[in-house]
Amino acid sequence: MAGEKSVETTGLLGWMDRRFPVTSTWKAHLSEYYAPKNFNFWYFFGSLALLVLVLQIVTGIFLVMHYKPDAERAFQSVEYIMREVPWGWLVRYMHSTGASMFFVVVYLHMLRGLFYGSYRKPRELVWIFGVAIFLCLMAEAFFGYLLPWGQMSYWGAQVIVNLFSAIPFIGPELSIWIRGDYVVSDATLNRFFAFHVIAIPLVLIGLVAAHLVALHEVGSNNPDGVEIKQGPKDKHGRPKDGIPFHPFYTVHDIVGVAGFLIIFAAIVFFAPEMGGYFLEYNNFVPANPLQTPPHIAPVWYFTPFYSMLRATTDEFTWVLAGSALLGGLVLLAKSNLKGFMRLAVPGILFVVAVLLRTIDAKFWGVVAMGGAVVILFFLPWLDHSPVKSIRYRPTWHKFLYAIFIVNFLVLGFLGTQPPSDVYNLTSQIGTMIYLAFFFLMPVWSRLGTFKQVPDRVTFHPH
């Protein structure tokens, strides 16, 4: 028929296909998207993250139907959901557990990327979209945490908004502008509600789409870090080491979903507070603007970064300034940077070293905390190792990763604890290890004896 596209499908699907790319999209992203056949359990966490996102959106919609974003009534409306709305407790516990599990799944997903070099060329944008999703997730969690209007909600928000007041010159005005008041108040609650239920989720969904489109453009990495598109192909031009995502990985992922839901349901039904880690005990006390609880700590998923914030005292900025100075001198003496950058990079480091001692430590604490996340964006360009996957790296690289992981967990633990001298020193050492892991990566990642990467992926049929 004139003006209509010719398609292979018939009937209703054919009618659709002539007007909308149903079949071609299905093929491009599922039935003819070839993923490496050697995925292991680490590859569950991407699809699980998508599952938790859907869960959060659905439970969130139902919570909004009963919640009141009003400083006078917010706390009470959450209790109303818990006690009087039929099954409201379940919806709320699913949402609160979902928030923590989102971070569990995303941290493991990011760790997988770190292990197998999934951020390396040509997947830099997949990684960058991913880190942006992580940032959005942190914002989403932070805004959401104010809504129950408990003591932790209130003082947590107070601390984080005050981070912005550390910015020189505009800081104090900026933090008033963010709060819409001189302290966290009803105005703050209302705008955080708007961010939590609409603004950030919209951005998040857009970024998830971009993450997947970028991934499907370049193809998935795998535990061997071998490019299957460059390997042998069958007579149809399909990579021999690839299998269609659907049905193979959809079924594979359902196994992951089943396992995940067992754990998820166990938490929701038996330990929704998770010993004060998922829902902090102080948050069962209504917000009191005149009294900070004796010990405040953020929810567990923020604590590693929170530790770095606390570690940055005036004394510690000497260490940071010294490191920046030393780094600048080494780069000046020997680096492979060319032209303008040859002098500019050491120059910037020297300026940073001076600023570290001229601007308040409070500001640098904020920079350390933010920088710890932002540095992840640069990972594709920090890693210079000749192989992608940890499988073919020198053994001592694996120890470095182990130290990094343990260090991250220790920082996480310290962030939940009240401040003390010993803990403070430990978190300062931990902060240095975290920063050194990334800043020195261009050096250490190319050292050592690398193993031979095979031509094909390692795969043993069951």
Nearer to another protein, 82 or 296 (CB): 296
176 touching another protein, by CB under 8 A: yes
Candidate residues 1, 12, 258, 290; the one interacting with another protein per rule CB under 8 A: 290
Q: Please answer whether residues 407 and 427 qualify as being in contact, where contact means their C-beta atoms are separated by less than 8 angstroms.
A: no
CB of 420 to another protein, least distance (A): 6
Question: What DSSP state is assigned to residue 454?
Answer: P
Nearer to another protein, 188 or 222 (CB): 188
User: CA–CA separation, 30 vs 249, rounded Å?
Assistant: 9
Q: How far is CA 435 from the centre of its chain?
A: 17
CB of 292 to another protein, least distance (A): 4
Question: What DSSP state is assigned to residue 242?
Answer: E
Helix axes 124-146, 151-163, angle to 10 degrees: 130
Candidate residues 20, 41, 177, 381; the one interacting with another protein per rule CB under 8 A: 177
Q: Which stretch binds another protein (CB under 8 A): 4-12, 105-113, 160-168, 266-274?
A: 160-168
Residues 110-149: x/- map of binding to another protein (CB under 8 A)? ----------------------------------------
Query: Is omega for the bond preceding 294 within 30 degrees of 0, making it cis?
Result: no
Nearer to another protein, 344 or 354 (CB): 354
Candidate residues 27, 29, 191, 238; the one interacting with another protein per rule CB under 8 A: 191
CB of 395 to another protein, least distance (A): 39
Which string of b and e fits 247-275 if b means at least 16 CB within 10 Å?
A: eebeebbeebeeebeeebeebbeeebbee
**Beta-bridge partners for 41:** none
User: CA–CA separation, 448 vs 397, rounded Å?
Assistant: 8
Binding to another protein (CB under 8 A) within 53-92 occurs at none
Nearer to another protein, 290 or 333 (CB): 290
Candidate residues 109, 211, 362, 397; the one interacting with another protein per rule CB under 8 A: 362
Determine how many CB atoms are found less than 10 A away from the CB of residue 356.
Answer: 23
Candidate residues 64, 159, 212, 345; the one interacting with another protein per rule CB under 8 A: 159
Q: Give the list of residues 6+ apart from residue 151 with CB closer than 8 angstroms, or none.
A: 282, 283, 285, 286, 287, 288, 293, 296
User: CA–CA separation, 458 vs 152, rounded Å?
Assistant: 49
Residues 416-455: x/- map of binding to another protein (CB under 8 A)? --xxx---x-------------------------------
353 touching another protein, by CB under 8 A: no
178 touching another protein, by CB under 8 A: yes
Q: Please answer whether residues 397 and 423 qualify as being in contact, where contact means their C-beta atoms are separated by less than 8 angstroms.
A: no
Q: Which stretch binds another protein (CB under 8 A): 175-183, 231-239, 347-355, 394-402?
A: 175-183
Alpha helix segments (H runs only) across 164-223: 171-179, 186-194, 200-218
Nearer to another protein, 20 or 177 (CB): 177
Question: Which residue ranges make up the site for another protein (CB under 8 A)?
Answer: 155, 158-163, 165-166, 176-183, 185, 187, 191, 289-296, 309-310, 312-315, 360-362, 365, 418-420, 424
